[in-house]
Amino acid sequence: MGTKLRAVVVTLFLSLLLFPLVFSASNDGLYRIGLKKTKFDQNNWLAAQLDSKEGEALKISIRKYKFRGNLGDSKDTDIVTLKNYMDAQYFGEIAIGTPPQKFTVIFDTGSANLWVPSAKCYFSVACFFHNKYKSSQSKTYKKVGKPAEIHYGTGAISGFFSKDNVNVGDVVIKHQEFIEATREPSVTFMVAKFDGILGLGFQEIAVGNAVPVWYDMVKQGLIKEPVFSFWLNRNAGEEEGGEIVFGGVDPNHYKGKHTYVPVTQKGYWQFDMGDVLIDGKPTGYCGGGCSAIADSGTSLLAGPTTVITMINHAIGASGVVSQQCKNVVEQYGQTIMDLLSAEAQPKKICSQIGLCTFDGTRGVSMGIESAVDEKGGRSAGRSDAMCNACEMTVVWMQNQIRQNQTQEGILKYVNELCDRLPSPMGESAVDCAKLSSMPSVSFIIGGKKFHLSPEEYILKVGEGAAAQCISGFTAIDIPPPRGPLWILGDVFMGRYHTVFDGGNLRVGFAEAA
C-alpha cells in the first residue's frame, strides 16, 4: 500500500483462510509466483467500519500518496496505507533466511520496502497472529539495526533493518535488506491474512532508501530482464488467484499486444492517462491529461471525486448528500452556467464568484490561513469544501453543456451528482439486479480505450438474497502538482494483464487471458 499504498480508501478486512501457496520456475527463464486470494465477506466489512475512526479511511488514501524526499515529503518517513480488501487481495509466499522461514506477503507495486513481523515484536497483539522472522535461527542473517518506520492510516509499523537471503520462487536473493517489524498497530494487522508486504515500486519511495527486492534480483543476475508482470484471476469460482512472472511475460496470460506508456515519475509506476469515458462519452475531466499509477496493492479503482461521482451517478450508486455541494448549486449554479456559456475560463470561475482564489493553475480555498475566520465566523474546512464543490460543479456543468443539455436539465443533473458524492467511508452501493443496464467505463491509455464492464467494476459482497453490490470506483483527491491522480488497482489489473518494465521505464496493458 505503499508507500504508501498506498491503498486505499476503505480499510476492509479479509475473511477466508488462505489456501497453500505455490511458486515455480520453468525452463523458459521466467520465475513464477502463484497467487491466492482471500475474499471479502459482509461480517468483516462491518467490523472494518467499526475499526475505522470517523471516516479516517478517506483521509488515509490521500496520506498514502504523499511524496517524500525529492518528491516532497520527509526523507526519513514514507506514507503508506493498507489497501481496501473489497473483492479479494492477492498473496504470494516467500521465504527469508537459512534454513528458509516462510511468509505470506502482498506483492505491492505501490511501495518499495520488504517487511515482515519480527520475533522481537513483543508488545503488539498483531504479531502473535502471524509468522515472525527469527534472526537467531538463520545462518545467513546480517545485522543492520537502523531504525525504520512506515506510517499507515491506522497507525505505524516500526522496527529495524536487517539483511538475509530471501527466496522468491526458486530465486535466492542474497543479503537482501528488509524491515523486521517490532510494532504493528490496530486490529487491521491482527485480522489480515498476510504477514508482510513486498514492495515492487522504485527505490525513490523506499523507506531508508533500501534497495527493493526486484532491484537486487536484477543486480545479482537472477532474472534475464528487469521486468515483471501480473496476471490476476478475477474468476471468483476458481481457486487459483493469479501469477506474478519475474524476468518477462507469459504469453498464456494475455491476448493481443500490450499498449505501453512511459513512466513519467520514478517512485510509483506512474504514467500519463487520457480522458475517462462513461458509456462511450468523454467526461472531459482528463481531456488535457491526468496522471495514473498501476498499483497491485489496491483492490479498487480510485480517482478524483469529481469524476468518481459522475461514474457512480451513471451506474446508480448511492452515496451521502453533500450539503455544501447543493448549496453551491442553489446559490451559484445559474451564475456558473452563464459564465461557461460566455466562454469564461473554467479554472477561474470559482475564484470569480468568490469561493476560491486562483493560484495561476487552479482554484484554491479561501480562508485557510487559520482554522476559523474570526471576522466572518467561517471555518476553513467549510470554505475548502465550498471551493471543492464549486470546482466539481464547473466540470459537471461543462460536460453537460457539451452535450447540449437544457439549463433546467443541467441543474437537475448536478443536484443528482451531489446526492452521489461518496460516503465518508468511500464506498457506494448499487442494485445487484441492475448490472445489465449499467454503462461501461473506459480509460484512454496510450491512445487506446480500455473498457470495464459492470461485471468487472462491481464487487459482490455475500451470497444469494443477502448479497450486496459495491461500486469498484472510490474517490481520492491528490492535489497538484502530483494530482489529479488515478490509482488503477486490482479492478483494472484484473481485466488487463500488466507489465512493469524497469529496463525501459514503461508500463504495458493487454487484455487478460
- Are the C-beta atoms of 107 and 228 separated by less than 8 Å? no
Candidate list 87, 108, 164, 490, residue with the active-site label: 108
Roughly what angle, to the nearest 10 degrees, separates helices 407-419 and 323-341? 150
Residue 431 a catalytic site member: no
Say how far apart CA 4 and CA 190 lie, in whole Å. Answer: 19
Residues in the chain: 513
Contacts of 230 (CB under 8 A, 6+ apart): 107, 109, 242, 243, 244, 296, 493, 497, 498, 500
DSSP assignment of 137-204: G-TT-EEEEEEEEEEETTEEEEEEEEEEEEEETTEEEEEEEEEEEEE--HHHHHH-S-SEEEE-S-GG
Residue 28 a catalytic site member: no
DSSP assignment of 353-401: TTSEEE-SSSEEESS-SSSEETTTTEEHHHHHHHHHHHHHHHHHHHHHH
Candidate list 78, 164, 195, 295, residue with the active-site label: 295
C-alpha cell at 79: 506514507
Cell 469460482, located at residue: 237
465 DSSP assignment: G
- How would you write 391-436 as a 3-class SS string? HHHHHHHHHHHHCCCCHHHHHHHHHHHHHCCCCCCCCCEECHHHHH
Give how far the C-alpha of residue 46 lies from the chain's centroid of Cα atoms, to the nearest Å.
21
Roughly what angle, to the nearest 10 degrees, separates helices 323-341 and 380-402? 50
Helix (H, G, I), strand (E, B) or coil at 260: strand
Give how far the C-alpha of residue 245 lies from the chain's centroid of Cα atoms, to the nearest Å.
21
Catalytic residues: 108, 295
